[in-house]
Amino acid sequence: MSSRPLSPDLARLARGIGAGERAVIARAITLIESGRADHQKAARRLVQNLLPRTGNAVRVGITGAPGVGKSTTIDALGTRLTAQGHKVAVLAVDPSSARTGGSILADKTRMARLAADPNAFVRPSPASGTLGGVAAKTRESMLICEAAGYDVVLVETIGTGQSETAVADMTDFFLVLMLPGAGDELQGLKKGVVELADMIAVNKADGDNLKRAKAAAAEYHAALHILTPRSPSWTPPVVTYSALTGDGIGQLWATILDHRERVAKAGELAARRREQQVKWMWAMLEDRVFARLKSDAALKSKLPRLEAAVAEGRMSPAVAVDEIAAALGV
Ligand SMILES: Nc1nc2c(ncn2[C@@H]2O[C@H](COP(=O)(O)OP(=O)(O)OP(=O)(O)O)[C@@H](O)[C@H]2O)c(=O)[nH]1
Ligand SMILES: [Mg+2]
């Protein structure tokens, strides 16, 4: 596929991306996000063509409950990194935006500095499609940003299990943000997200919150202690910081780099990315097969009857699946 030359339009896009032209990057991502079959085909060719130029960024996933300070953190961290000479891309997976038409990144006021930073590229979540589809598009957008020379990609998501898994599956480091608790820290510490976390960071450790933040961190630390770490070369630390004052933001990044060095040395970074790539293949295949299945004419005419029969308890789900499979010839 990559050996076939790109059409003049796509070649122009690829050149513009290589030159780091923001307007072209934005256009390429719009192509990726488009629902039109011809656009999707073109986007696939473009990404395939750019693939050799991808993979060089530090990919960080960031999650946390609404109001925890994700945007403020990304603004503070991102600005610090661009000041050090990094190029920072900020992307998002927000399954709720598909319903509301809004987006966690639509509110750029909390990322005012980064949004205006010439060395940062901030893109809201794709606003339509299934979670799997949205996440797949964000992942391809990440590849475009890498090909454009962005060496740090921050992917924001909100605290819902599925979107967190999707973002952890496209990043090298998964950062879970927490609030200084009001005694309910451990309830907020869902088992699923802890298993994904490479670090837990308690934000808003400033002013009156400082003591509570430290106490929350101690509780999380104790809770993490009883879990088996995901990686033999990394035990997820628990830290406190303040996105508002910037206290501890430098330490967040230092920890991300420390993690990187260790897992790279152990061969785990490459292994994680290999596994992720294959996982995405299956996830995208599943999405595609499902879409195809749902639009199958023979099946469409059968489904209402089967669904009703299953709902009313006249037919077992297993027998209904048998009939569906027969209709599809599988
Ligand atoms: N005191 C204090 N307030 C903070 C800090 N970080 C964020 N805030 C405040 O917390 C509120 C929410 O911050 P956001 O950055 O918008 O949080 P978010 O996680 O992006 O929120 P959603 O996008 O709604 O999910 C804002 O009023 C921030 O000013 C911090 O370190 N200390
Ligand atoms: Mg936000």
DSSP state of 129: S
Q: Tokens at residue 168, please?
A: 């952890």
Hey, how many other C-beta atoms are within 10 angstroms of the C-beta on 287? 17
Cα 19 to Cα 14: distance, rounded to the nearest angstrom:
9
Mean pLDDT by runs of 10 across the 330 residues of the chain is: 73 96 96 92 96 97 91 96 98 72 59 92 83 89 98 90 91 94 58 84 95 90 78 92 97 98 96 95 89 84 93 97 87
Q: Which residues surround ligand 2, an ion (CB under 5 A)?
A: 70-71, 104
Query: What's the confidence (pLDDT) of residue 98?
Result: 55
The predicted pLDDT at position 290 comes to: 85
At 227 the pLDDT is 74
Q: Is 180 exposed, middle or buried (0-12, 13-18, 19+ CB in 10 A)?
A: buried
CA 13 to chain centre: 24
- For ligand 2, the distance from its centroid to the CA atom of residue 257, given in whole angstroms, is 24
How distant, in Å, are the alpha carbons of 60, 151, 288, 301, 308 from that of 320?
43, 50, 22, 14, 10
What is the DSSP track for 152-220? EEEEEE-S-HHHHHHHHTT-SEEEEEEPPPSS-HHHHS-HHHHHH-SEEEE---SGGGHHHHHHHHHHH
> How far, in Å, is the centroid of ligand 2 from the Cα of 150?
21
Nearest ligand by distance to the CA of 96: 1
Q: Which atom of ligand 1 is nearest to the CA of 74?
A: 15
- Check if 66 has its Cβ closer than 6 Å to any atom of ligand 1: yes
What's the pLDDT score for residue 184? 56
Rounded Cα gap, residues 138 and 154, in angstroms = 11
How many Å apart are CA 40 and CA 202, to the nearest integer?
40
**Residue of 71, 79, 103 best suited for mutating to test ligand 1, as the one with most atoms within 8 Å of CB:** 71
Quick check: CB of 68 below 6 Å from ligand 1?
Answer: yes
What is the rounded CA–CA span in Å between residue 255 and residue 233?
Answer: 13
Atom of ligand 1 nearest to the CA of 203: 31
Q: For residue 165, how many other CB atoms are within 10 A of its CB? A: 17
Whose alpha carbon is nearest atom 13 of ligand 1? 69
Q: Report residue 229 as tokens.
A: 């770490």
Residue whose CA is at the smallest distance from ligand 1 atom 2:
204
